[in-house]
Amino acid sequence: EQVAVRLHMGDDSVELEIADDGVGFDPSLPEQLARQPGVGWGVVGMRERALLLGGTCVIDTAPGKGTRVRVTAPLTHERNHHPGEGGNNHE
């Protein structure tokens, strides 16, 4: 029923946390998760992308207990972009 999203920008990293009170799943079965309609691909994709960025993806879940996913990635570009400005400052 509820989903909470939190984003924290540090000096050298960014952390995204998404938590819900849904049905949860068995995290020891990622390949089976990916085959279930509507479940798994998002979590699998987040993990892959975090690793590609040199970051981490921690999944805390259990059947019937909801899910919490925390992705942390390093910031590798200069942070001279100001909110409200257009453009992309990736190097």
- The CATH number assigned to the domain holding 57 equals 3.30.565.10
pLDDT, position 91: 44
Q: Which tens digit of pLDDT belongs to each residue from 43-73?
A: 778 888 999 999 999 989 888 889 999 999 9
pLDDT band at 9 (very low <50, low <70, confident <90, very high): very high
pLDDT band at 15 (very low <50, low <70, confident <90, very high): very high
Domain count, the chain: 1
pLDDT, position 90: 47
Whether residue 9 is contained in a domain is answered as yes
Whether residue 48 is contained in a domain is answered as yes
Residue 73: which residues within 8 A CB-CB, separation 6 or more? 13, 14, 50, 53, 54, 55
Whether residue 87 is contained in a domain is answered as no
d(CA 80, CA 68): 31
Average confidence (pLDDT) over 67-87 = 71
Prediction pTM value: 0.68
Whether residue 20 is contained in a domain is answered as yes
Domain that includes residue 12, residue range: 3-74
